[in-house]
Amino acid sequence: MALMTSPPGHDVILFDGHCRLCSAGARKLERLLGGRGTELRSFRDEGALSAFPGVVYERCEKAMQLVQADGRVVEGAEAIVRALGRRLWGRLLYVYYVPGLRQLVDALYGVVARYRFRIAGRECPDGACAVHFK
């Protein structure tokens, strides 16, 4: 069963605002979506997760979360596919659901997500990176 939370009435993408790679990806996603219908929030911002019961910090640490307008939550590569799938050309990304390809893409996403701070570094204006970095 898919994770459900409070419906925000529009799509909300929760990304890691302390990760340069994630922040750049979120900005690119926003441009591709045309800046309408989707709100981007860093899950690290004060109170960002309080609007979405059941979406926990630990899941956000592992993958980007897409809270859909109806409250359904998808994460990782599938979140990107679903967000862009609303665009006509974005439906081409549904090739993601081809058996085998999805597992490969999810595995690659997982590796990049796990090592994102080593790949691109942190962006911590408040010096909190020393607390997060293991």
The rounded percent of the chain whose pLDDT value lies above 90 is 68
pLDDT over 70 (residue 125):
no
d(CA 73, CA 11): 10
**39 vs 132, residue with greater confidence:** 39
CA dist 25 to 28, 88, 126, Å? Answer: 5, 20, 22
pLDDT over 80 (residue 20):
yes
Q: Give the pLDDT score at 134.
A: 45
**94 vs 131, residue with greater confidence:** 94
Give the pLDDT band of residue 104 (cuts 50, 70, 90). very high
Domain ranges within the chain, ordered by starting residue:
3-125
Q: What is the pTM of this model?
A: 0.85
Residue with tokens 């701070």: 117
Average pLDDT over residues 16-23: 92
